[in-house]
Chain A
């Protein structure tokens, strides 16, 4: 596997279910991100992890819970979601130098998980 992978690619869940999205990066990067992409809306940054520490939480509802057990893996745990949470969830990674400006400005994205909440 190369680059950034995400599983599952598609997920349909009810509002009372609990599920998890998984992201894995094979690039040796130290920062990982969750984005939400909804129709007709700009890409929304949800969470940022630098060096496994969460450094950003953009007012995301608590029904979304991230977990970063190591620098290669990132999870998004989902519970009691709403239909408006249906979207494409994208994971990305980058190599950061700790100052915020980045050794590399480039973020590498996975293919996304298409989530539908019924």
Chain B
């Protein structure tokens, strides 16, 4: 079945450092790919998404490119802030064996220190 694998955390960075959180997926067909973020004490919020190969999703300085050849959707940010500390979830929806459900990775905790 469809699945999402994220790099294990926690990831600890200093403010203004470059961020990469790796995400790879297994799915048949043409799923949509997402990054959700969960700030402490809150539910998940959509951060960005891409619906087809080579699309780039971007929001709040974060970017991720849908790479079908490497089945990846890595999250990047050029300069992180303390306020970016949160748990980040990669997810997919709409692979041919998974028509309606969001499939989440296990989440990666990011800690940004001043």
Contact surface of A with B, Cβ cutoff 8 Å: 4, 6, 41-43, 45, 48, 50, 55-56, 90, 92, 96, 99-102, 105-112
Contact = CB atoms under 8 A, between A and B. Distances in A.
A37 to B, nearest CB: 9
Interface residues of B, number: 22
A100 B99 contact: yes
A16 to B, nearest CB: 29
Given A43-B104, A45-B102, A106-B49, A90 B94 contact: no
B100 A100 contact: yes
Contacts of A96: 100
A105 B93 contact: yes
Interface in B80-112: 89, 93-94, 99-102, 104-107
Given A4-B43, A109-B43, A102 B49 contact: no
Contact of B94 (A42, A92, A101, A108): A101
Given A102-B93, A105-B32, A41 B106 contact: yes
A10 B43 CA distance: 13
B114 interface: no
B47 to A, nearest CB: 11
